């Protein structure tokens, strides 16, 4: 017999998790690689898109959970630059899902003060998708709560190359000198220039790799891998990851004694 917790119990568990989390040791920014949608659908004898659509429920739940816990930035690997190589039908269906999800969620973003943001080669997105996304970003631009960033048509190597080219152009035009180039200047030219580095990177779906995601930005992030497939991931799983993160000693190259 399977046990399905009642809503009341779930909420109680959330509170218990939230009680255990040290609010002074929260990451400001959590990045997530949402993996496992296709396998989740296959396990159920359904098409891959069934997994992606159910993945949206996880997105909503996790963003709500992050908001409750007090996390300011959530960045989701929603579509990588390599994902364009998937079967055309799947790519088109994901883009459609994006359009319908943004249209459906915008009221919730406004109600919950969520600011929608996007990073990646956005001009590669189908016009309809770009239009919906830009309108939602514009509409939520004054919101001051959680910043929800969708990495779309995103690849970290491309982002780094983009930054290199942009800095080279600034040198060429005389705007800056080669000697002026430092980590701050470089970061300023990344798509993520207006947010802090993620302190925690979560990957669902049981694979142990980074898949060209935020390579510069995660230099000192704590990595958390879970076998859970993305459509099964909920805020309680985010809280488990936060508790795990809070047990880690972040040394940044120093000794344990120095940090303590
Ligand atoms: C990876 O699982 C998932 C994706 C490439 C798509 C993720 C997109 C969503 C969850 C939709 C979210 C939409 C919005 C607007 C936030 P996979 O297909 O690689 O799974 P597999 O490894 O099991 O094949």
Share of the chain above pLDDT 90, in %: 87
232-255 pLDDT, tens digit each: 999 999 999 999 999 998 778 888
How far, in Å, CA of 174 to CA of 159, rounded? Answer: 23
Residues near 157 by beta carbon (within 8 Å), at least 6 away in sequence: 212, 215
- Domain assignment present for residue 141? The answer is yes
Q: Which of 13, 61, 83, 143 is catalytic?
A: 83
Residue 56 belongs to some domain of the structure: yes
Tell me which H or E stretch contains 213.
none
For residue 74, the cross-strand partners are: 30, 148
Residue 189 lies in a domain: no
8 annotated as ligand-binding: no
Q: Could you tell me if the CB of 81 is within 6 A of ligand 1?
A: no
Cross-strand partners of 147 = 73, 115
Tell me the three state secondary structure of residue 32. Answer: strand
pTM recorded for the entire structure: 0.92
Residues pairing with 79 in the sheet: 152
pLDDT one-digit tens code per residue, 184-239:
999 999 999 999 999 999 999 999 999 999 999 999 999 999 999 999 999 999 99
Distance of alpha carbon 80 from alpha carbon 138, whole angstroms: 23
Residue 53 pLDDT greater than 50, yes or no: yes
Give CA–CA dist 253/257, Å, rounded: 12
**Ligand 1: does its nearest atom lie under 6 Å from the Cβ of 83?**
yes
Q: Got the DSSP string for 164-204? A: HHHHHHHHHTTSS-GGG--HHHHHHTSTTTTSPPPSEEEE-
Q: Domain of 114? A: 26-155+198-246
Answer whether 39 contacts ligand 1 (Cβ < 6 A).
yes
Query: Does the pLDDT of residue 161 top 60, yes or no?
Result: yes
pLDDT of residue 154: 98
What pLDDT, on a 0 to 100 scale, did the predictor assign at position 12? 55
- The number of distinct structural domains making up the chain is 1
**59 in a structural domain:** yes
Please check whether residue 32 lies inside any domain of the structure. yes
Residue 173 lies in a domain: no
94-133 tens-digit pLDDT: 999 999 999 999 999 999 999 999 999 999 999 999 999 9
Share of the chain above pLDDT 70, in %: 95
| Of 238, 259, 198, 220, residue with least CA distance to 67 | 238
Relative to beta strand 73-80, strand 29-33 is parallel
For residue 46, the domain's CATH number is: 3.40.1180.10
Checking if the pLDDT of 37 tops 90, the result is yes
């Amino acid at each position: 017999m399977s046990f399905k917790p009642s809503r009341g119990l779930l909420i109680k568990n959330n509170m218990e998790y939230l009680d255990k989390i040290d609010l002074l040791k929260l990451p400001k920014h959590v990045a997530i690689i949402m993996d496992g949608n296709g396998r989740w659908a296959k396990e159920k004898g359904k098409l891959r898109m069934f997994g992606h659509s159910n993945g949206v429920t996880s997105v909503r739940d996790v963003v709500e959970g992050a908001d409750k816990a007090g996390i300011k930035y959530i960045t989701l690997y929603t579509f990588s630059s390599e994902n364009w190589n998937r079967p055309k039908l799947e790519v088109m269906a994901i883009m459609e899902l994006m359009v319908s999800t943004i249209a459906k969620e915008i009221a919730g973003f406004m109600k919950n003060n969520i600011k929608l943001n996007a990073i990646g080669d956005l001009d590669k997105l189908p016009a309809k998708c770009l239009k919906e996304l830009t309108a939602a970003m514009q509409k939520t631009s004054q919101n001051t709560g959680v910043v929800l960033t969708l990495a779309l048509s995103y690849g970290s190597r491309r982002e780094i190359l983009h930054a290199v080219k942009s800095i080279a152009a600034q040198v060429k035009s005389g705007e800056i000198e080669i000697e002026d180039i430092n980590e701050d200047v470089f970061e300023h030219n990344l798509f993520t220039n207006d947010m802090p580095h993620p302190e925690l990177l979560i990957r669902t779906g049981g694979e142990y790799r980074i898949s060209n995601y935020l390579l510069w930005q995660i230099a000192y992030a704590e990595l958390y891998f879970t076998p859970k497939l993305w459509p099964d991931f909920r805020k309680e799983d985010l809280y488990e990851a936060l508790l795990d993160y809070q047990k880690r000693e972040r040394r940044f190259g120093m000794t344990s004694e120095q940090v303590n």
